[in-house]
Structure 1
């Protein structure tokens, strides 16, 4: 098989748990010494580690939400609310206290000042807890799971401040949350519980049939799953209908293939190991394949009526949260 035919999904999966060669190990050529990527394959160990990091993630999420706090989602129709919507001509029998006398004085007719309807939405949070999310390419970088949890909780804090109903989703449906002082803390505890009690190979994608109709879904994942499964899931969500906002989390090494020399790749999800003698020779073809899959993701997600927000773990989370908030605030 020629190198140009290596699928990006497959090669990306080989990255998890990459063991960079050390002294006495396989030969390397032209590579620099770096810290080995960090991976946690044991589910119980990963859940315990996430629980230990959760207070810091929760605090950071609350701080970001405070920075980006804004008003309720507009409904683009007249109704009960505080935001001005439009003036309309007064109808016979209109109560006098509903007439805007200042606006009416400028014309020959009486006008009523209408406000915009504000209604709570149901938003479901899905966090990909599969083994690939436990990976990071360097100790200085956050793990993909940490960044996914941070952005989910940050968005949840914004939604809760705006009066929305926020629920946590698992493969079995909506998760009953444990008691806690605040709704955001209940969501954080629920995520820890899912990580601890989930199967040894957690599902990367949710089950559309278990979701309430006309809800909104915020899906955080590295999207390292079969393309056919992702396409089928998105189509079912669109038909349900559940409007989905996909948050694509990636590590910079997954996008650039920064390794050189003889390198052995092993997986966190039972993928076979792969040893490449001159991995840098794949870089150009690999970059083209990653670019092609990114284009496919954008087209597939857009074609099914959903939205896509990308985040790389070496970037600041606040701009991504702002972009995600703008996507979720758009009129459907």
Structure 2
């Protein structure tokens, strides 16, 4: 729950329409910011290249006994006393499915955050799309956009998001087939066991996944004192605390326990987990997820920091 007055609860038809318009107006600015952030980290993005069958040169490496002599690069080998193999890059495009939670709880922004959770989720999602598209990957969004391999994938995803219906909860993934990876971005405030009930079957289908938790600082720190009224953005129900500071310790313990349980459960089934706060730079989460997508170790910690 969040302090009343900071979240709109879109329960009526007019509220839902206003909510859709708000998201549509938010996306263009998020795309501009996403491209700016992508450009700051693109120099360190080496793609996900693998050795294999392809046309592009990847590297020279020493010849190993038993390999085909036809693979030896005699010109390179003539330069010194070693024999070298010319490896080529594996060019099979991968499909990366990107999804960001657009439910009502994501609209929250306290005075401690630099952006709403929704805005930050969209920026990270579109920045990932931009960088992955430049690396030649196929980009899709469950229920919003079919996978495409195009340099303007981020722009096309942004357009699709502007016209997508409002939805909550995890996406329908029945359309995802084959060698795909799934990046889920949201606040994941439900009980960890409930979240894993939805995510677990995806891992059992062989999908590799990455979860990015977006948190507002106030949700983690609970900086409230005195009489405070909270409202649930999903249901509209309210809770009044006469002395909010008296529940801070119990709340913080429960909040962090939920995060730890979710992260441990995801890692146990082979997925990755990054927690990101909206008072940190969006590039921190982007770099952390990039490391995972590239198959390199990264620290799944708050904001991407150790």
TM-score normalised by the chain length of structure 2: 0.84
Partner of 2:295: 330
Describe the shift of the 1:181–1:45 C-alpha distance in structure 2 as closer, same or farther (beyond 3 A).
Answer: farther
Find out whether 1:37 has 2:6 as its counterpart. yes
Pick from 138, 142, 149: which aligns with 2:111? 138
Find out whether 1:263 has 2:228 as its counterpart. yes
Separation in structure 1 between the aligned mates of residue 236 and residue 217 of structure 2, nearest angstrom: 21
Find out whether 1:86 has 2:61 as its counterpart. yes
Separation in structure 1 between the aligned mates of residue 67 and residue 178 of structure 2, nearest angstrom: 39
Describe the shift of the 1:183–1:52 C-alpha distance in structure 2 as closer, same or farther (beyond 3 A).
Answer: same
1:302 offset after TM fit, Å? 0.3
1:117-132 superposed matches below 5 A: 117-132=90-105
Separation in structure 2 between the aligned mates of residue 82 and residue 93 of structure 1, nearest angstrom: 18
Output one character per residue of 1:222-264: Cα deviation in whole Å (capped at 9) or x when no partner.
0023433311222111111111111110111110111111111
**Bigger strand fraction:** 2
1:128-207 superposed matches below 5 A: 128-138=101-111, 141-170=114-143, 175-176=145-146, 182-194=152-164, 197-198=165-166, 202-207=167-172
Contact kept? 2:225, 2:245, Cα under 8 Å: yes
1:135 offset after TM fit, Å? 1.4
Structure 2: unaligned runs, 5 residues or longer:
298-306
1:50 offset after TM fit, Å? 2.0
> Between Structure 1 and Structure 2, whose CA radius of gyration is higher?
1
Structure 1: unaligned runs, 5 residues or longer:
1-13, 20-35
Describe the shift of the 1:292–1:86 C-alpha distance in structure 2 as closer, same or farther (beyond 3 A).
Answer: same
Larger relative contact order (CA 8 Å, sep ≥ 6)? 1
Separation in structure 1 between the aligned mates of residue 246 and residue 79 of structure 2, nearest angstrom: 74
Separation in structure 2 between the aligned mates of residue 249 and residue 325 of structure 1, nearest angstrom: 16
Q: CA RMSD in A?
A: 2.8
1:193 offset after TM fit, Å? 1.4
Bigger CA drift: 257-266 or 149-158?
Answer: 257-266
Output one character per residue of 1:13-61: Cα deviation in whole Å (capped at 9) or x when no partner.
x22xx23xxxxxxxxxxxxxxxx53445333212212222222211111
Separation in structure 2 between the aligned mates of residue 264 and residue 143 of structure 1, nearest angstrom: 20
Contact kept? 2:133, 2:152, Cα under 8 Å: no
Separation in structure 1 between the aligned mates of residue 158 and residue 115 of structure 2, nearest angstrom: 18
1:177 offset after TM fit, Å? 9.0
1:103 offset after TM fit, Å? 6.1
Contact kept? 2:97, 2:147, Cα under 8 Å: no
State the secondary structure of the residue aligned to 2:63: strand
